[in-house]
């Protein structure tokens, strides 16, 4: 895929959704951090359902830490891997209080030193909470990048490196959200909605899904 086609793809994605953002619900960088930790191998919908009950009760490092693992579990037990996540969240809160004056750090290295925070989570927080041009490659972005030809790669790290290099600078801040949402609702895994895709004519995917037969 050439640079001109790639630019047109992001121009169209921006036109369709000028102000994209995460579907996780949060009101502070700390809430976003906890929500992203909880979202690993879980849906944003399931995380939002849990945090709608948790955050009105506890939404600071001190408040959540005071709950302890056993006190936190009832709020998040509907989310997959909740026991491990509860331990990670409590330890993260402790580290934020003792090492960062209860503030969410603004560097990838400091974020990734927190339990349950990998590169993808750190990139989400840096991008969404602090407005840094990072791209967190999840399954949706990995699929869209490879299927469309925007930035093909054999693993998430390779795709991230290519996206950071190939996405035009003016689109870099929001590229993360456009690609996730496109993968979540249009370029879906099993049967992409190519017939309803604003970039279908620019996409390298050869086996495009035709318009469904309404008679069936």
- Domains in the chain: ranges and CATH: 3-20+135-202 (1.10.1670.10), 29-130 (1.10.340.30)
Residue 215, pLDDT above cutoff 60 = no
Helix/strand/coil (H, E, C) string of the chain?
CCHHHHHHHHHHHHHHCCCCCCCCCCCCHHHHHHHHHHCCCCCHHHHHHHHHHHCCCCCCHHHHHHHHHHHHHHHHCCCCCHHHHHHHHHHHHHHHHHHCCCCCCCCHHHHHCCCCCCHHHHHHHHHHCCCCCCCCCCHHHHHHHHHHCCCCCCCHHHHHHHHHHHCCHHHHHHHHHHHHHHHHHCCCCCCCCHHHCCCHHHCCCCCCCCCCCCCC
pTM for the model stands at 0.89
Residue 132 has pLDDT above 70, yes or no: yes
Annotated binding site: 187, 194, 197, 203
Mean pLDDT, the chain, integer: 95
Give catalytic residue positions.
120, 138
Binding residues for [4Fe-4S] cluster: 187, 194, 197, 203
Average pLDDT over residues 143-156: 96
Average pLDDT over residues 168-183: 95
Of 14-18, 39-43, 121-125, 165-169, which gets the smallest average pLDDT? 39-43
């Amino acid at each position: 895929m050439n640079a001109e086609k790639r630019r047109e793809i992001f121009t169209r994605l921006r036109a369709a959704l000028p102000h994209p953002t995460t579907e996780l619900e949060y009101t502070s960088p700390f809430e976003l951090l906890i929500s992203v930790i909880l979202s690993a191998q879980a849906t944003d919908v399931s995380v939002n359902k849990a945090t709608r009950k948790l955050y009105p009760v506890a939404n600071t490092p001190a408040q959540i830490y005071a709950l302890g693992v056993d006190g936190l579990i009832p709020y998040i037990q509907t989310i997959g891997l909740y026991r491990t996540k509860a331990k990670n969240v409590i330890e993260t809160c402790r580290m934020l209080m003792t090492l960062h004056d209860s503030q969410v750090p603004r560097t990838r290295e400091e974020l990734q030193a927190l339990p349950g925070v990998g590169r993808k989570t750190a990139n989400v927080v840096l991008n969404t909470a602090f407005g840094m041009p990072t791209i967190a490659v999840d399954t949706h972005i990995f699929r869209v990048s490879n299927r469309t030809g925007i930035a093909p790669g054999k693993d998430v790290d390779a795709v991230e490196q290519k996206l950071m290099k190939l996405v035009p600078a003016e689109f870099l801040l929001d590229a993360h959200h456009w690609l996730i949402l496109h993968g979540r609702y249009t370029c879906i895994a099993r049967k992409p909605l190519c017939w309803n895709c604003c970039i279908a004519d620019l996409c390298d995917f050869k086996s495009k899904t035709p318009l469904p037969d309404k008679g069936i």
